[in-house]
Amino acid sequence: KGTPYHWLGFNPPRSAPRRRSSGWFCHRRAHASDSGVGERVEGKSEKEETDIKRAFALGGFLDARAMNSARGSALQEMGALAWDSINKFEEYRSVVDPIVGSEMPDFLHAGLGAVLLAALKHDLDVARDWTVRTAKASPTALFNRNGRRALLWLDARAPDVAEPIIRSYAESPDLLAQAIAALLVAQRSLEDERWKDTIDTLIEKGPTQRAAIAEVASAYVANAEHVGRTSVWLTRFFDDDDDGVRRTAADCFRRIDPSTMAMHAPLYEAYVGSKYFDGERSYFIHRLEKAPAVMDDVVLGLIERTVEVVKTGGPGGGRGLYQIWDPLLRIYATCGANGARLKRCLDVIDVLVQLDAVGSSKLNALT
């Protein structure tokens, strides 16, 4: 008990109930209930989600479906064991090879993700073959985390194989495939200039592509190595006409550590100065309280701009500005002999009181 042997063909004593091997599970005929798993279900929240978020959700759903099926979990277990041992990989090849690309539900193709990664680690030629067969049989199978990792790694090691797959996604009529392609191209373009022209084209194509690129930019902007290019993308996306693109780009502020805020000061300024900036939705401001002292003037400038946006017609009448008080009062308390900064703080406080901003009671602590 507790060992994976029963998945791998281990035969317990005859007195015990006979367990099926991985090979039996993997080759078992699909039941009617297996069909239709790759279909998306329309829902009320779907219009609120970007296509790349929907693609992530589909990939996650197929993963979960595989995990909760006998054959799918067997494939995932075999992939994990094969990753750790080339001997296990060689042992499972004869079982996996006839399965890859065969006629079966999307979730079982998705369950092969760990196997594809193991092949990339141990035998590139096999990985090339299996990835192509999987992509042809079930493009959605590579939407999950392991599938995307396999395509990224394959593009780095065998671009002649991976690039046609990625480009087929980009040219697909399926918006989710287009989103996955844009995501992969954006990630690879940060490492390989071969994709630079393609990313420049995709960024002009539409919100499906831009939201996917924004996902990459938000995730990678905290990396000093990529801050230049990702900041350019994000600055553009702050002014995008599509709300989903803007929301995805604004997520970058959740990824930035307060200790590195000074490096990203232009990004904060670009966000607050963007044409769609909404002071009532500036959730990023609460993190400014932890900004280093060297950022005080920048933080105060961001607060001033946020308050001005709300004052000149922003929604909510200041109800969403409660997050501003902590960083503002921290700066106010450290003004000392800096009369100019003190005046700026007092001017902002006056406006917040006029707007009846939630949190005004915090002023009592200073009196």
pLDDT at position 20, please?
40
Q: At what angle do helices 124-137 and 113-122 cross, to 10 degrees?
A: 150
Whether residue 157 is contained in a domain is answered as no
Q: Is pLDDT of 78 > 80? A: yes
pLDDT digits (tens, 9 = 90+) for 163-186: 999 999 999 999 999 999 999 999
Pull the structure tokens for residue 285. Answer: 């401001």
Instruction: Give Cβ neighbours of residue 2 (< 8 Å, ≥ 6 apart).
Output: none
pLDDT at position 281, please?
64
- Any idea what the Cα angle at residue 89 is, between residues 23 and 162, rounded to 5°? 105
Mean pLDDT, to the nearest integer, of 289-315?
82
Whether residue 295 is contained in a domain is answered as yes
Q: Is pLDDT of 265 > 60? A: yes
Whether residue 288 is contained in a domain is answered as yes
Whether residue 49 is contained in a domain is answered as no
For tokens 């993700």, the residue is: 113
| Selection from 252, 336, 343, 331 nearest residue 298 by Cα | 331
Pull the structure tokens for residue 137. Answer: 């049989």
Q: Report the distance separating Cα 150 and Cα 139, nearest Å.
A: 13
Whether residue 347 is contained in a domain is answered as yes
Confidence of residue 31 (pLDDT cuts 50, 70, 90): very low
pLDDT digits (tens, 9 = 90+) for 102-126: 999 999 999 999 999 999 999 999 9
pLDDT at position 367, please?
54
- Write out the residue range of the structural domain in which residue 268 sits: 260-367
Q: Report the distance separating Cα 280 and Cα 293, nearest Å.
A: 25
Percent of the chain topping pLDDT 70: 80
pLDDT digits (tens, 9 = 90+) for 2-11: 333 333 333 3
Q: Report the distance separating Cα 187 and Cα 218, nearest Å.
A: 11
pLDDT at position 280, please?
64
Instruction: Give Cβ neighbours of residue 225 (< 8 Å, ≥ 6 apart).
Output: none
Whether residue 267 is contained in a domain is answered as yes
Whether residue 337 is contained in a domain is answered as yes
Query: Mean pLDDT lowest for which of 121-130, 203-212, 289-298, 335-344?
Result: 289-298
pLDDT at position 127, please?
98
pLDDT digits (tens, 9 = 90+) for 212-224: 999 999 999 999 8
In the chain, how many domains are there? 1
Whether residue 114 is contained in a domain is answered as no
Residues 144 and 113: beta-carbon distance below 8 Å: yes
Instruction: Give Cβ neighbours of residue 297 (< 8 Å, ≥ 6 apart).
Output: 341
pLDDT digits (tens, 9 = 90+) for 118-161: 999 999 999 999 999 999 999 999 999 999 999 999 999 999 99
Average pLDDT along the chain: 84
Other CB atoms within 10 Å distance of the CB of residue 361: 8
Phi, psi for residue 132 in degrees, rounded to 5:
-65, -45
Q: Is pLDDT of 242 > 70? A: yes
pLDDT digits (tens, 9 = 90+) for 34-74: 333 233 434 444 447 999 999 999 999 999 999 999 999 99
